[in-house]
Structure 1
Amino acid sequence: MPARHFDRGRLRAVRRAAELSQRDVAAGVGVATSSVAGWEADTPTSPDPEKLPALARTLGRELDDLFPRTGLPDLTDLRCDAGLYQIETSAILGTKSAGPVRGAERGERRLKDRYVAPLAAAYGVSEEELLRAQERSLARAQGTTEDQNAGEDQAGFGAPPDSLSGKITLLLRRSFPGRQQMPSDAEIAEAVNARAGFEAISEEGVRDLRTGKEEDAAPLVLEGLATFFGVSPMYFQHDDAVAQQVYEGLRLLSASRRGAVGRVRARGSRQGLPADVMALVNDLVDEMEQRDSGSR
């Protein structure tokens, strides 16, 4: 699972900047002062993942900012981000033990339908986000990647995301794969504002859209996001048919980046794409082929 990055030096610096003592932080998180001292010292100790949300709140920082994570969360990540230990989920589900969650996190079995809604509510995510995280847990347990588990062409795409946060996350993953450094929320906000000519959105506003705290944005912001990521503004529209067209184009382009250019052209007609959309995809594929051949 993509664990959050814990930096003890940054923790110490942020605590001091907030003018908090180790005792203050310990009280806010619910641990001994010696635990906080150990987290900041050059020792192998670090806080439980379940403690990171309380630690970020105590220090007055966003969880994603203080303890960033590259990649999308699985079920264990969602639970830890909610500050819950596995044993606490039995009370949420009304079960005698945490067995249902334990089995799902291990990828041994899926959650029963009746558990999805209460667990999503407790984790502060949508049911759709919870189910997608479940698929990542299953893929990990099977020794595959999420990409390998998602379809015939291994493009890593399941159903197109229907939430704004899901669409932004997808674009971040596809535009900055592997170890490429993803842009920060501040950089995205700066690009959107530069296009708008005024402050249309703040760094916090971008973070809220990316994490799903806010589900809608002004048209000018959506246009700026589209320009930043290099996609059509249609991608962010609520019209499912329009979003599906742009999504399919992205999926086919993803295949071409892995050397499956021939399959892109051959399979385009089977994807239900309009002729003009497919023509655009093929033009882009041609451009990439020329660029790649010229760099050899």
Structure 2
Amino acid sequence: MSARRFDAQRLLLARREEGLKQSDVARVVGVSAARVSAWETGRSLPDPEKLPRLAEAVGRDLDVLFPREGHPDLADLRADAGYSQVATRELTGTRTQGPVAAAENGQRRLAKEYEQGLADAYGVTVEALRRAQERSFGHAVPEPDEPAPTDVAPGGVTMLPTTIAGKITYLLEQLPGPLSDAEVAVRGNSRAGAQVLSEELVRGLRTGAVTDASDEVLGALADALDTTPLVFRSGDPGVQRVIAETLVLRNQVAAIAARGGEEEGLSAELLAFINKEVAKARAETAPHRDHPTSG
């Protein structure tokens, strides 16, 4: 959980800078002045859902006054919207806060029927809600627009991200041109010879809203992204390192070929050899698909 950091001194200084009394802040937040005093002196901590109103009361941005490192999980989204866990009963239309509590504790995911209502109340999209939910279950899910996390192995070799979402983002960046989720789906289905991918499924896997998939889906996805299914299926660091090195080599060869090759000291014959070996290595590492036989 990436809870916001509460700093009593920062709150105290912000209130004084605005010329406010503790009773003024208390009135906005809906607590007693004594409670505000306890927060400012560090005798107690405010509940996370009180922080948005506190920031509002002293005229400060929530992210500036109470910063958070990392991405929010479900409990963080709820708190940032100013809801207590008990208050979510009205959002889900249930008698208890059980559905939300179970999801926040990583015990049971939210039913689809609750997602839109909670997303609207929290001021986020359903996809953002699902990403936050996966974090509540212990999965490190990146935001769609952030760079894919990578590690550097000994020798300075870039390693692949560890999550499916991170790998998809990384692989998309290695392609010569951008591909939309719909284009990835069409390309994967065409190469797999079957309707395996959909735009919604690709988007879910890319954003981290969907964190697992069948071998068939991952195989089609690998085909669409010009790589081997081992990129998704193998957790062996050695295999991942080889794949990362191959991607780097492939991009270097493509860049040289685009410039004609000769100016880099590479003959057309050598370029043809490199391309052939890379293609052969990819074919040898790809698993054989079983096809139905006649008779």
Q: Give TM class, smaller chain.
A: 0.5 to 0.7
Distance 1:278 1:83 in 2: 53
Q: 1:4 maps to what in 2?
A: 4
Q: 1:128 maps to what in 2?
A: 127
Note closer, same or farther for the CA distance 1:239–1:38 as it changes in structure 2 (3 Å cut).
same
Residue 20 of structure 2 aligns to a residue whose secondary structure is coil
Q: Does 1:29 align with 2:41?
A: no
1:265 partner amino acid: E
Q: 1:68 maps to what in 2?
A: 67
Q: 1:196 maps to what in 2?
A: none
Q: Does 1:97 align with 2:96?
A: yes
Q: Does 1:265 align with 2:245?
A: yes
Distance 1:110 1:96 in 2: 18
Q: 1:118 maps to what in 2?
A: 117
Matches within 5 A, 1:224-243: 239-240=180-181
Note closer, same or farther for the CA distance 1:278–1:25 as it changes in structure 2 (3 Å cut).
farther
Note closer, same or farther for the CA distance 1:277–1:110 as it changes in structure 2 (3 Å cut).
farther
Residues 168-201 of structure 1: CA deviation (Å, up to 9, x unaligned) = 4x23x849xxxxxxxxxxxxxxxxxxxxxxxxxx
Shift of 1:87: 0.8
Residues 22-47 of structure 1: CA deviation (Å, up to 9, x unaligned) = 1100001000101111111143x111
Distance 2:63 2:3 in 1: 12
Distance 1:52 1:263 in 2: 45
Q: Larger radius of gyration, structure 1 or 2?
A: 2
Larger relative helix fraction: 1
Moved beyond 6 Å, runs of 4+: none
Percent of paired sites with the same residue: 44
Q: Which runs of 5 or more residues in structure 1 are unaligned?
A: 140-145, 148-155, 158-165, 176-231, 253-257, 281-296
Residues 74-103 of structure 1: CA deviation (Å, up to 9, x unaligned) = 111110111001111111111111111011
Q: 1:87 maps to what in 2?
A: 86
Note closer, same or farther for the CA distance 1:42–1:48 as it changes in structure 2 (3 Å cut).
closer
Distance 2:59 2:144 in 1: 28
Note closer, same or farther for the CA distance 1:19–1:277 as it changes in structure 2 (3 Å cut).
farther
Distance 1:277 1:12 in 2: 56
Residue 245 of structure 2 aligns to a residue whose secondary structure is helix
What TM-score do you get using the length of structure 2 for normalisation?
Answer: 0.54
1:28 partner amino acid: V
Q: 1:193 maps to what in 2?
A: none
Alignment: residue pair count: 186
Q: Which runs of 5 or more residues in structure 2 are unaligned?
A: 151-172, 185-202, 207-224, 232-236, 256-295
Distance 1:38 1:26 in 2: 11
1:117 partner amino acid: Q
Note closer, same or farther for the CA distance 1:74–1:277 as it changes in structure 2 (3 Å cut).
farther
Note closer, same or farther for the CA distance 1:32–1:279 as it changes in structure 2 (3 Å cut).
farther
CA RMSD of aligned residues (A): 3.7
Distance 2:68 2:179 in 1: 28
Q: 1:16 maps to what in 2?
A: 16
Residues 242-274 of structure 1: CA deviation (Å, up to 9, x unaligned) = 998xxx89xx9xxxxx995324135x4xxxx9x
